[in-house]
Amino acid sequence: MKKEKKSHFNLWIYVVITICILSSSIAYSALNATLKITGDVTISKAIAPRELSKTAVKEILKNNQITTVYINSSSAPPFDTWYDYDVSVGGDESVKATIYKYNTSSDLYITAINEDDNVDFSVPIIMPDCDTMFKDCTSLLKVSFGSAVDFSQVKWMDSMFYGCSNLTTVSAEGSRYEAPKLNDMYEMFYDCPKLIDISDFMCQLVTSAVDEMDYMFFNCNSIETVDLAEIKVAANLTANFMFCGCSSLRLVYLSKADFSQCTAYTNFFNGIPSGVTIHVLDAANKTWFNNRLSEVGRSGNIIIG
């Protein structure tokens, strides 16, 4: 009788252990399934997605005279710094920021935090919709994006740098930023008169159907080169005043964008100089761009490809 009881006891232990193992396996599989990010970036199963809060960033910019913003950039403060701002969605401290001040400058560093609570530039940060993100930041001189920045969920970049009157540079360390949902670039660089260098970032931005580019570079009178080589546009694109006031413009790359079906383009090139070189998609676009130059009494060199 005693032996029989012992046998039943061992059987129950075996059943309980088996159920625990199966439950753990199911939970682990479910965890893996939830850690996939839409797009090309997949986060390690040990690390939850890092989502940047636009609201938190704008609050910092509002209360500080920031001159440079580094987002997951390998550039780091020159000394050990405590990242004391939580700029993550949901306040989970998975994305943090610090301000480093020296002389008259204040640099904002934003970075992902890994599972060991350490700064980790290799962990991707998911960007939010970027509309008005840096709007009217008149102290801002430069914004730099690191290679591990994910734009796959971004739909809007309208007024992103609107009124940044001292902004000169938007740079990037990455080689390709997929933004398949991006459709609105309205007034993106509106009234940035000192803007000079955006090619490192804009030429890596890959879109599929942007439908608003009105006033995108309005009054950017210092910029000479605009490289939008990976930008594709929608058939219902509007682009009124897109390059209006770009009085220093010399070179434009739009070799994948079909502007020939553009529905609105008032004063597209008003105020640009003659002699600008423009790389376009095909013969139809060559005709379209020549017509826009003629409308404002300008000539240029239109190249297919």
Q: What is the mean pLDDT of residues 218-227?
A: 98
Q: What is the mean pLDDT of residues 125-137?
A: 98
Closest Cα partner for 257 from 185, 187, 193, 192? 185
**How would DSSP label each residue in 43-55?**
--TTS--EEB-HH
**pLDDT attached to residue 105:** 86
User: Distance between CA 33 and CA 36 in Å, rounded?
Assistant: 6
- Indicate if the pLDDT at residue 24 is higher than 60: no
Q: Name every residue whose Cβ is closer than 8 Å to that of residue 300 and which is 6 or more positions away in sequence.
A: 274, 275, 276, 277, 278, 289, 290, 293
**How would DSSP label each residue in 20-67?**
HHHHHHHHHHHHHHHTBPSSS-B--TTS--EEB-HHHHHHHHHHS---
Q: Which two tokens stand for residue 159?
A: 């007024």
User: Distance between CA 118 and CA 102 in Å, rounded?
Assistant: 24
β-bridge pairing 50-51 and 95-102: unpaired
The CB-side HSE value for 118 (13 A sphere, CA atoms) comes to: 4
The dihedral through the CA atoms of 106, 74, 54, 166 has a sign that is: positive
- Indicate if the pLDDT at residue 29 is higher than 70: no
Q: What pTM was computed for the model? A: 0.83
**pLDDT attached to residue 267:** 97
Q: What are phi and psi of 226, to 5 degrees?
A: -125, 110
Q: What is the mean pLDDT of residues 10-30?
A: 38
DSSP, res 88: B
Distances (CA, A) of 69 to 98, 141, 292, 298, 302: 10, 9, 36, 37, 36
Q: What is the mean pLDDT of residues 285-296?
A: 98
Going by pLDDT thresholds of 50, 70 and 90, the confidence category of residue 32 is: very low
Q: What is the pLDDT of residues 41-96, one digit of tens each?
A: 333 334 566 999 999 999 999 999 999 999 999 887 766 667 889 999 989 999 99
Number of neighbours of residue 203 by Cβ within 10 angstroms: 19
